[in-house]
Structure 1
């Protein structure tokens, strides 16, 4: 196997492990953490809301992770950053499986959970951008490259399938066993996969795009192209010697030279990331409020994530024919159209309707947007700032949409007494992303 294929394989496997952990936490938020890690004397809604707030706290750390690991990736190589992201998020997941519950440790239980979630969010902030760049650098051009970059997102979805399915299987245990020890098993079994993933990444330097660019030297060379850097967005003049030098702080250069692309990238994330967390997190909360059994909700979510993973490469194959922007726009329209039917199908409570709700929303709404999002974001930034640029845009959107959307949806639902306000909120996110897409096209990125 060539080094490029090894890098590709390691990035995809790492992505699956990373998002297995993330999905496991997502599914456990309403089903495990809300009843077990918060005071039993509070109302069910209060505990659910507190658990969602802790879930959202991880998103607050994601931009910091994007800056930290983006700097590491641009200066030391993409694979160097990816080793640390996988190690951190995997270790935290195992530790969550060992945490005491509120009945065992009182207020210390939610505090420890909060710390774990913050570290997990920090690590997740650097994983996505690095994996996309490593896969994009290893893949050949044309349609094959589009499909391979979409497959990186299929790895995300498959990891989420495994995480959700693991909790679903554990939930099949008798209630006393599940709440006593069963929920811990899916967290603890992460350890062997993390060890394998870190070992895979430890022996690799990645494809050519992975070579560090952020170095200061006379007549600095861009190792991606082999040429002397002459682009004003990726060099600074050393006043002492008048020599070309690549910026030592990519985030500083990014904010000075590319604020527009950063804002466009954040806007593109709003509907995709906010939508997927409204579906996967608030969808479970709403289903529980409607009396739908947990096992049915988890089965529907698992089916939806499978549909999501399978649909992504199919939409990516259409990029050369339709263009990334049109496919992304189609996903936005589907999210808006399905915003009300999704909740209606869940409220019906029957297994076919619950499965259909998740399959349609994720397979037709989320899949096309995330399948082409790596391509749209990659085109926004120059090579020397690409890891930092993609990470900051990706994780900035995660804070404004992914972390906020379940909290906002729970609050809107509680105040309005129905999900109509939540549907309007989702349509608002779609409108914002539509405007960002127009702004990207206006700058010639698509």
Structure 2
């Protein structure tokens, strides 16, 4: 059988859509993660140099957090566009917006050059980044899941999720290169800009791929039948408000684990635990590589087992695993810290691969982009202050116990909310009417 006839057109397009979702989210997450890394390593002295070092770190993490505040707004804006004019067009806009913003950070003058305007500019650009990510994730998930059969939604949703570890790997490698090959002063003078400016190359690649992608069949059907929602966000909260609320709380742990490990712990380890930047970045890199290869197994398990049981087991394991990560990192031992990061990463990322399909199945097609984007954005907004909160808890108590408690509580909340959401939506067609229309019931013959 020739390679041109091995798959039917729908299968080929589904694979193409999955790859496009992966490449696009890789670029978006690369842009987002290099900001998190820079906020832990260099933004404090560069943009808040007039402050005490500890305060500068908190202020740097505050700029990291503000990007999450605009995620829900991005979810509404791009969700509206994605549900009205199409997933593809919305995704092209989010990628362009993120690329321009990230490149702008790389060109931004520091506090030493323009004073207080520097942190203000940083905050503005970060807010725009949040808008872009708020619209990107939901569209990428849908462009993958809506090109395939419903029973493979979890599996193809995982394509978009793979962009997160891939983007983190690229971001970590970028900063490892500049921190290991160049002296400290060069890093502060100019080298920190390189990872941000390099984003322009990646964005061009992503745009070429997305421009060649077709719109999702489900969206095309809605547009053809003139059945799109007039105001998606209004219709969403009118009919699916409970699903949004459960979706928000079901994924809290995803944000907490990632930003506890990659942003808060990076700062904590290099400033207080005597880890070098390179050594702890290597821990994050190993955890990210592990995530890339282990993560898809969560989605693969859904093809054989009940997703409700999978979610329960994974989040049940994550609760003690996250606590263990903090405890092992606090020892200051490189290999124990590595073990802690690995143990906490495995169940969390397997749940992350399931998460996309779990949210996508919860909403009807005509408000689906808005629904999963708003849920994802609101959850991110709640957890975007994780590094700031954990740093404050550590500074105020002098012990890692309170950060551990914070992580455990948020993971438990995710477990309860995920089970409730799946109980409400699993195995049901979100597009099906809640009951037959009156005229249909009357027309049904009695046997």
Q: How high is the TM-score relative to the length of structure 1? A: 0.89
* Aligned match for 1:310, one of 270, 284, 293: 293
Distance in 2 separating the partners of 1:338 and 1:72? 40
1:157 pairs with 2:165: yes
> Secondary structure in 1 aligned to 2:190?
helix
Mean alpha-carbon deviation: is it higher for 162-171 or for 353-362? Answer: 353-362
Distance in 2 separating the partners of 1:182 and 1:188? 10
2:330 is aligned to 347
Maintained 8 Å contact 2:312/2:419: no
Aligned-residue RMSD, C-alpha: 1.8
* Aligned match for 1:31, one of 41, 54, 61: 41
2:25 is aligned to 15
1:260 pairs with 2:258: no
1:276 pairs with 2:258: yes
> Secondary structure in 1 aligned to 2:80?
helix
Distance in 2 separating the partners of 1:74 and 1:411? 40
Maintained 8 Å contact 1:137/1:208: yes
* Cα gap change, 1:61 to 1:394, in 2 (>3 Å): same
2:125 is aligned to 116
Mean alpha-carbon deviation: is it higher for 284-293 or for 61-70? Answer: 284-293
* Aligned match for 1:358, one of 330, 341, 358: 341
Post-superposition Cα deviations, 1:217-273, rounded to whole Å, max 9, x if no partner, equal xxx455xxxxxxxxxxxxxxxxxxxxxxx4310000011111100101001121222
Maintained 8 Å contact 1:4/1:138: yes
Mean alpha-carbon deviation: is it higher for 153-162 or for 46-55? Answer: 153-162
Distance in 1 separating the partners of 2:64 and 2:323? 25
Q: How far is the alpha carbon of 1:192 from its aligned partner? A: 1.4
Unaligned runs of 5+ in 1: 223-245
Mean alpha-carbon deviation: is it higher for 52-61 or for 183-192? Answer: 183-192
Unaligned runs of 5+ in 2: 5-11, 428-447
* Aligned match for 2:229, one of 226, 247, 266: 247
Maintained 8 Å contact 2:263/2:387: yes
Q: How far is the alpha carbon of 1:358 from its aligned partner? A: 1.9
Q: How far is the alpha carbon of 1:282 from its aligned partner? A: 1.1
1:147 pairs with 2:152: no
2:373 is aligned to 391
* Aligned match for 1:192, one of 186, 201, 206: 201
Mean alpha-carbon deviation: is it higher for 162-171 or for 119-128? Answer: 162-171
* Cα gap change, 1:331 to 1:43, in 2 (>3 Å): farther
Distance in 2 separating the partners of 1:212 and 1:121? 30
Mean alpha-carbon deviation: is it higher for 372-381 or for 62-71? Answer: 372-381
* Cα gap change, 1:111 to 1:271, in 2 (>3 Å): same
Distance in 2 separating the partners of 1:94 and 1:212? 37
Maintained 8 Å contact 1:265/1:377: yes
Distance in 1 separating the partners of 2:39 and 2:402? 22
- Matched length: 415
* Aligned match for 2:359, one of 358, 377, 382: 377
Distance in 2 separating the partners of 1:351 and 1:442? 42
1:241 is aligned to none
Distance in 1 separating the partners of 2:169 and 2:141? 20
2:424 is aligned to 443
* Cα gap change, 1:169 to 1:375, in 2 (>3 Å): same
Maintained 8 Å contact 1:304/1:360: no
Maintained 8 Å contact 1:7/1:206: no
Distance in 2 separating the partners of 1:359 and 1:408? 23
* Aligned match for 1:130, one of 124, 139, 144: 139
Post-superposition Cα deviations, 1:165-190, rounded to whole Å, max 9, x if no partner, equal 11111111111111111111111111
